[in-house]
Structure 1
């Protein structure tokens, strides 16, 4: 998710243009970002730089998650959502994604084991070719996870 040079409010409203401030705060709370945004002098009106400049990497990922939570999409496609985050922040973001995905289909493109661990199905692709498919509970699942980069 791209974050734009605009306010926190307007970055969130890209997903739900008619969202109330209460809905924005609910999404921020669910993403674990309400406290840090409330602590900013301008709160939702805080201006961000291009790419979320002014937020830490973890806060940028959480803002992207809050935006995702505002949109009633049946499919979430995430590309290495915890890449570059420390282990604790990555674990928190991963847990929040898993807790809020609900009945949606979640597709995560990743090389990182910790991200793939929440999957029900793994498809290993190399050079554009499917090398393996497996499901949670099958012996090959743990073996497939082991091929991915550790934290």
Structure 2
């Protein structure tokens, strides 16, 4: 994108492979570098489709999508039947143990891993079997934090299914790390606690952006209150 911008979408038509119709028929979206945006709407509204396009996982059938290099925390925590170290090193194959422990500490998982008899060598089952839901999500966050040169973070319902205490701790860590690294955020959500991180609320319905509310305005506060609280 142009200097000072994180995302520039102009008339982008986004469709899934094999689909004749576009899930998002016309997307105009501008996001400044360092800005934090929450994309809110009902399930099936097109939130994840937009993230897929920004991640480069989907090409626009029309218009243009330009974005900074991104890392994508998807709804599903993708963990594999391997040890913790190698699951983390998917983000950076050359990361040493010092870097791995730093990422785990930033994600709030270091103490849990130290308590495991095998530490970083602890084997996980398929899909992260052996970890709780909160631990698996923190491991995914640690992996995101290991990514280098990705100034755009795409977060798809990052705390869905977590208890309130774990979720708020995770979100606080995400916000802190994003500020430290001056990363831009696009958060797809229908939860108030996640949308509270944003400077802008973009409302999407039927694959179209229908509203853009900025923090500090009555419309922003009203839209935030309308979201699910927990």
Q: Secondary structure at the match of 1:82?
A: coil
Give per-residue Cα distances to partners, 1:6-56, cap 9 Å, x unaligned: 110001000011001010000000000000001111100111112211111
Q: Which has the higher contact order (CA 8 A, sep 6+)?
A: 2
Structure 2 residue 148 is the aligned partner of structure 1 residue 82: no
Structure 2 residue 201 is the aligned partner of structure 1 residue 122: yes
Matched residue count:
151
Compare the two structures and name the one with the higher strand fraction.
2
Give per-residue Cα distances to partners, 1:66-118, cap 9 Å, x unaligned: 00110021111111110000000000000000000131111110011110001
Give unpaired runs (5+ residues) of structure 2.
1-76
Compare the two structures and name the one with the higher helix fraction.
1
Distance, in Å, in 1 between the alignment partners of 2:124 and 2:216 is: 43
User: Which residue is 2:219 aligned to?
Assistant: 140
Distance, in Å, in 1 between the alignment partners of 2:174 and 2:167 is: 11
Q: Which runs of 4+ in 1 moved over 3 A?
A: none
Task: Please list, as runs of the form range in 1=range in 2, the aligned pairs for 1:39-118 lying within 5 A after superposition.
Answer: 39-72=115-148, 73-102=150-179, 103-118=182-197
Give unpaired runs (5+ residues) of structure 1.
none
Distance, in Å, in 2 between the alignment partners of 1:122 and 1:96 is: 21
Under a length normalisation based on structure 1, what TM-score does the superposition of the two structures give?
A: 0.97
Larger radius of gyration: 2
